Amino acid sequence: MIEVLERILNEITEKLGYGNENKVIESNRPELCDFQCDNVFKLAKKYHKNPIEIGEAIVHAIQTLDDFCLYFEKVELAGPGFINMTVSDSFINKCLRYMQESEHFGIKKPLKKETYFLDYGGPNVAKPLHVGHMRTAIVGESLKRIIEYMGHKTISDVHLGDYGLQIGQVIYGILQDGKTEEDITLAYLEETYPKISALCKEDEQVKNACSEITKDLQDGSIQYQKLFKKILEISGNDIKRLYRYLGVSFDLWQGESDAYPYIPEVEKYLEAYIKDSEGAKIIPLNELPPLIFRKSNGAYLYATTDLATIYERITKYHPNHILYIVDNRQSLHFKQVFEVCETSKLTEGVNLEFLGYGTVNGLDGKPYKTRSGDAPKLDNLFTQIKELFATKKDSNKEMSGEDIDKIVNAILKFADLQNSREKDYIFDIEKFSNVVGKTGPYILYTYLRIDKILKCESIKYKINGIIYNEIDRKLRLQLLGLEKALTSAFDERKPHYLVDFIYNTAVLANQFYQMNHITGLEDEEKKQSWLYVLYLTNRILKNMLELVMIDIPSFM
């Protein structure tokens, strides 16, 4: 709709000699009009004229168009130069029909299909996944789905933290306990990592020993490699299980360790920039602290593996973009890495983006903790939500396990994705489990109620020219806002625009069926038109919920 309105305006301003760069936006004051164009002020400046004069000329030209009624109900100049537009009902319906009949609801395909490489998840092997790891997984997966929906290609990589100090610590524990590969279980890992990690904080010697082990592992020690493989297998399987529960998947299951073979090549490529500094190798940067490429003991660091990984990704997969969905607190690290990539032209022609995300906080505004004071493991969080949801209503206890899992997912994801990615948010389980409010259960409930109406009636999938009342019109216009919501989510890499769209649609849909009783309606034409609106609403809701990884349970 906006595209057509812009085209109409552009044709007119071009004829009037004012160029063709009009932007049409949704109205700031929906009680006055549906859309507005504020371009007149710019034109007035550019052409040294009075905005009212220009505005009146444009409005007059629109009003005298032969096919005015096809598109508009009313167009007027408001205030010092706003063009306010109210579209005609037939135009609304025409656009809805186009949405209904087109692939992806008629969202414009990109001029050029590009490859987006997404780096998200990034769990650290041998450490239990907790609530903080959920955000990168959920935001990353959702962005991946949105990017694909917009017509691009994606490649996703989990980028496991699999070569860091935590592995050295676990191996240290294994050796101390006199264990072998066969003894390594998930329970053993979950107990050993925190134990040795705490010990390292107290005992410098243990810490050094763990660093030594990590370094030897990286250098290829056969004994350590064997243990590492087993740790990776056990912990990796558990990570995969949790991601499966969340509906998060990856094309590549690579880790930091996979970057090691590329270090010599990237080191050679960056030769001119790498300097010696007290035995270490560093890359001085303009306004940032230097990037440390190799420590004086010969060990490589996080930045080194990221550079080597970039090298691997661009040579193997030739992406146009590499997106990192990583905790805000790592922004300095990525600034350093990106600066090296840019000055050395390593990533020439490739767009690198750091998409930071904020912290998940508890009611106290501090990082979300369990009662015992640690970050809750994801498993426990799932159970906690299940239990809470069961207490909300007696019939909830009778739901199938599969349906409950879908609801748990909806609660978590709707809570998370409604916040702008880079902001911290308070995770209030109680609030987000309710069936009222901006919550997953509210959306699911709305969908299922509409679905029930649709199943009871036979729909002819035809829309007539009439819009029957205000809420009817509001809902129809809301559906037309889909492209804008998706485009904003895609352009800004922020799924919350889509979540807002889903929520606003659900609110209007709820009002719609409360005010417009379909069952028993005698006017068949009206009934069909309303059924059609609800049918399209639910189709859109379902497809958009898929992009935020929310599945619909069989009943609620």
**Residue with smaller CB distance to ligand ARG, 144 or 159:** 159
Closest distance to ligand ARG from the beta carbon of 311 (Å): 13
Under the criterion CB under 6 A, does residue 197 sit at the interface with ligand ARG?
A: no
Torsion of the alpha carbons at 203, 208, 209 and 215, rounded to the nearest 10: 150
**Residue with smaller CB distance to ligand ARG, 136 or 516:** 136
- Of 363, 357, 481, 368, the closest CA to residue 420 belongs to 357
SS (H, E, C) 220-282: CCHHHHHHHHHHHHHHHHHHHHHHHHHCCCCCECCEHHHHHHHHHHHHHHCHHHCEEECCEEE
Query: What 8-state DSSP symbol labels residue 178?
Result: T
Q: How, if at all, do strands 153-157 and 115-119 pair?
A: parallel
Under the criterion CB under 6 A, does residue 255 sit at the interface with ligand ARG?
A: no
Closest distance to ligand ARG from the beta carbon of 227 (Å): 20
Q: Identify the burial level of 390 via C-beta atoms within 10 angstroms of its C-beta, where 0-12 means exposed, 13-18 middle and 19 or more buried.
A: middle
Closest distance to ligand ARG from the beta carbon of 334 (Å): 8
Please identify, among the stretches 107-115, 116-124, 221-229, 288-296, the one whose residues bind ligand ARG according to the rule CB under 6 A.
116-124
Closest distance to ligand ARG from the beta carbon of 254 (Å): 10
Give CA–CA dist 428/431, Å, rounded. 5
Q: Which of 55, 81, 106, 122 binds ligand ARG (CB under 6 A)?
A: 122
Please identify, among the stretches 14-22, 119-127, 212-220, 234-242, the one whose residues bind ligand ARG according to the rule CB under 6 A.
119-127
Residues whose CB is less than 8 angstroms from the CB of residue 17 and which lie 6 or more positions away in sequence, other chains included = none
Under the criterion CB under 6 A, does residue 155 sit at the interface with ligand ARG?
A: no
Closest distance to ligand ARG from the beta carbon of 124 (Å): 5
By CB under 6 A, what part of segment 269-328 binds ligand ARG?
Answer: 306, 324, 326
Closest distance to ligand ARG from the beta carbon of 273 (Å): 20
Q: Which of 55, 59, 87, 119 binds ligand ARG (CB under 6 A)?
A: 119
**Site map 322..361 versus ligand ARG, x via CB under 6 A:** --x-x-----------------------------------
Give CA–CA dist 394/404, Å, rounded. 14
Residue 450, CB-side half-sphere exposure with 13 Å CA sphere: 29
Q: Which of 130, 144, 159, 527 binds ligand ARG (CB under 6 A)?
A: 159
Under the criterion CB under 6 A, does residue 537 sit at the interface with ligand ARG?
A: no
CA 268 to chain centre: 36
Q: Which of 13, 39, 84, 124 binds ligand ARG (CB under 6 A)?
A: 124
Closest distance to ligand ARG from the beta carbon of 299 (Å): 17
Q: Which two tokens stand for residue 287?
A: 């306004």
**Residue with smaller CB distance to ligand ARG, 36 or 235:** 235
Under the criterion CB under 6 A, does residue 128 sit at the interface with ligand ARG?
A: no
- The count of other CB atoms within 10 Å of the CB of residue 299 is 18
**Residue with smaller CB distance to ligand ARG, 119 or 312:** 119
370 touches 319 (CB < 8 A): no
Query: Rounded to 5 degrees, what are φ and ψ at 120?
Result: -150, 170
Closest distance to ligand ARG from the beta carbon of 248 (Å): 15
- The count of other CB atoms within 10 Å of the CB of residue 140 is 26
- Of 106, 104, 112, 111, the closest CA to residue 146 belongs to 104
Residues at the site binding ligand ARG, with contacts judged by CB under 6 A? 119, 122, 124, 159, 161, 306, 324, 326
